[in-house]
A and B are shown apart, each in its own frame.
Chain A
Amino acid sequence: MINLVKTFIAKILKNIFKKKKHIKLGLYGPPNGGKTTLANKICQDWLGEDMGTVSNIAHETREIQIKEQVSIKSKNKELTFNLVDTPGIATKIDYEDFMKAGMNEAKAKKRAKEATKGVIDAIKWLDDMDTVIVVLDATKDPYSQVNITIIGNLAARDIPVLIVANKVDLRRASMKKVESAFPQYDVVGISAKYGRNMDKFYEGLFALVG
């Protein structure tokens, strides 16, 4: 009964928050899906500046990054949010993988340590999100348990989700696989790197939040 009351109050508060059109929008997903590339694209489109650095080596983003007061507009609608770019969530981190990418042992171990902390922080921040964009690499297997765990946790918290199938510019990308893995969610295929389908992404975002 207490839980029911708590959920009811949380929903009312969330609705009030939503009506202010000033929300915390999280970017979640596995490492190297393109969360920071998408964050940079959003910030470039609407603020004219980047948000974070990107790299081919996994776990480049190891701390929560926040860009406050990002306002986007579409067809007389305006949406203002705090954009929260999170470290990629993984179930394993091996410093030797970073060494294979060319780092020395000390740097690789430091990166691994920071990456583990980043995963823990990303999971802790799930409770603070109002809306989440789950960024998946469309060239990879969408059925990975990390993807399912992230989306399951968002659903359990009643947080609205838009799934982005990123890297559709690559030949191996398969929107269909992502769509069939998560049939109950809207999926938008984009290339954050080349800005492809960003108009559809923004439409999807307004449909989700607006």
Chain B
Amino acid sequence: MLTLQFIPYADMEDLGSARRVKKILDLVKENKIVLLEGRLKNEEEADLIAITMEEVGDKFKGIELAVINPDSKDKNFLRSFRDGIANALLGDRKGFTVIGPASIVKEIKKDPDKIQLFTDEKGTRSRKKKKKR
């Protein structure tokens, strides 16, 4: 059985970087797939990878992660202006981040606005989720 745990932005916004990373990694190590509202800061993503590497061993193989950012590539002036204001107001709250244990999430394929999770549960490789904006 796959467990998908949603973390709303409100649960993370008051935490420091180290505690954010720890909270995510603790859940992932419980074999949960984390769906985080918003995204981590660049430095936090790097910290998440580094701390994941410290924890990798015979049982825990690491993580798969992907961010869906709602920013459109084909922007006109009005849209760019609107996105700029949204960025200023919402900051890291925009988009979603998916983080799963590498033993379960074999691969995440990503277009700018679509994520596909390929999971492997008891050796069965299958496409479990397809999300489109």
Contact = CB atoms under 8 A, between A and B. Distances in A.
Q: Report, as a range, how many residues of chain B touch the other chain.
A: 20 to 34
B108 interface: yes
A145 B65 contact: yes
Nearest to B101: A92
A69 interface: no
B42 A152 contact: yes
Interface string A68-89: 0000000000000000000001
A146 B108 CA distance: 11
Given A123-B46, A152-B42, A145 B66 contact: yes
A143 B111 contact: yes
B29 interface: no
Nearest to A143: B110
B96 to A, nearest CB: 12
B53 A120 contact: yes
A153 B62 contact: no
B11 interface: no
Interface in A134-148: 141, 143-146, 148
B54 interface: yes
A116 B54 contact: yes
Contacts, number: 72
B122 to A, nearest CB: 16
Nearest to A92: B62
B67 interface: yes
B42 A149 contact: yes
A88 B110 CA distance: 20
Interface residues of A, number: 29
> A interface, by DSSP: helix, strand, loop or mixed?
helix
A119 B43 contact: no
Which applies to chain B's interface (DSSP): helix, strand, loop or mixed?
Answer: mixed
A182 to B, nearest CB: 11
B113 to A, nearest CB: 11
Contacts of A152: 42, 45
B53 A149 contact: no
B64 A91 contact: yes
B42 A91 contact: no
A116 B60 CA distance: 12
Contacts of B42: 149, 152-153, 155-156
Contacts of B111: 143
Contact of B46 (A126, A141, A144, A183): A126
B86 to A, nearest CB: 19
B58 interface: yes
B55 to A, nearest CB: 9
6 contacts: A91-B52, A91-B102, A109-B58, A153-B45, A156-B42, A156-B43
Given A91-B65, A123-B49, 8 more contacts: A91-B102, A92-B61, A93-B56, A95-B58, A119-B50, A143-B112, A145-B67, A152-B42
The 4 closest A-B pairs by CB, nearest first: A92-B62, A92-B102, A152-B42, A116-B53
